[in-house]
Copies of this chain bind each other. A is one copy, B any other.
């Protein structure tokens, strides 16, 4: 007597995205291996069998989900750089600020980032996806740094530029983690302020309208 479940046919792209989103949600909640096909399907309001219609297997689904996550993260981060009519220094500050506030500072995103990255050394596919995202990010940083220094009439060589980019990248990453893991320990905007000061110190820029301590 159990009637068969009603369903609607969604467009292929829509379904795939829904499944990926449900996968990320499940991973946040239950971990990588703990996110089962049935859990994912339940969250996508679909039965488990359907997943196999869109993805060859669980592994591929997870990989696509991670790729989508990394893509979204770097896209959001870099979006802060496209500002018209702004000095290089303002753009750099805006970049730091954007990366140290919501939605990039977010416990859910961090959970996903850490969960997937934890398996990077055992899964070359994940490792490569991360590497590409990371290098893209760092290149963006390096480009802005070059602009900032050029505006200050300074001509660092390639090695110095690279070191600045690595350090600034580390500052942003480190503060991002602190914010994601313990957001309530910081007042709004505090992380961004710390980040901007640290970045400017790294580049040897004189503070603008602020006084140095003492």
Residues of B within 8 Å of A115, CB to CB, are: 114-115, 118-119
Q: Enumerate chain B residues within 8 angstroms of A130, measured Cβ to Cβ.
A: 181
**Interface residues as binary, A112-140 with B (CB distance below 8 Å gives 1, 0 otherwise):** 11111111111000000011001000000
- A94 to chain B minimum Cβ distance, whole angstroms, is 19
Q: Does A202 count as interface, using CB distance less than 8 angstroms?
A: yes
Does A19 count as interface, using CB distance less than 8 angstroms? Answer: no
Stretch from A10-18, A67-75, A84-92, A168-176 forming part of the interface with B: A168-176
Given the complex, which residues of B lie within 8 Å of A204, measured CB to CB?
201, 212-213
Is the CB of A154 closer than 8 A to any CB of chain B? yes
Which chain B residue shows the least CB distance to A174?
Answer: B170
Residues of chain B within 8 A (CB-CB) of A80 are: none
Q: Is the CB of A175 within 8 A of B166?
A: yes
A48 interface hit (Cβ, 8 Å): no
Q: Which residues of B contact A156 (CB under 8 A)?
A: 213-214
What 0/1 pattern do residues 13 to 48 of A give for CB contact below 8 A with B? 000000000000000111111100000000000000
Task: Tell me if A118 and B122 are in contact (CB < 8 A).
Answer: no
Q: Does B117 lie within 8 Å of A181, measured CB to CB? A: yes
Is A78 part of the binding interface, using a Cβ–Cβ cutoff of 8 Å?
no
Contact B174 A118 (CB under 8 A): no
Query: Scoring A residues 179 to 214 as 1 if CB is less than 8 Å from chain B, else 0, what string do you get?
Result: 001100000000101110110011010000000111
- Which 7 pairs of residues, A with B, have the shortest CB-CB distance? A170-B174, A115-B118, A33-B33, A174-B174, A114-B118, A173-B174, A167-B198
Q: Mind listing 17 A-B residue pairs with CB under 8 Å? A: A30-B33, A31-B33, A31-B118, A32-B33, A108-B121, A115-B115, A115-B119, A156-B214, A163-B193, A163-B194, A166-B175, A166-B178, A167-B198, A170-B173, A170-B178, A171-B174, A201-B201
Residues in A lying within 8 Å of B, measured CB to CB = 28-34, 107-108, 110-122, 130-131, 134, 154-157, 160, 163, 166-167, 169-175, 177-178, 181-182, 191, 193-195, 197-198, 201-202, 204, 212-214
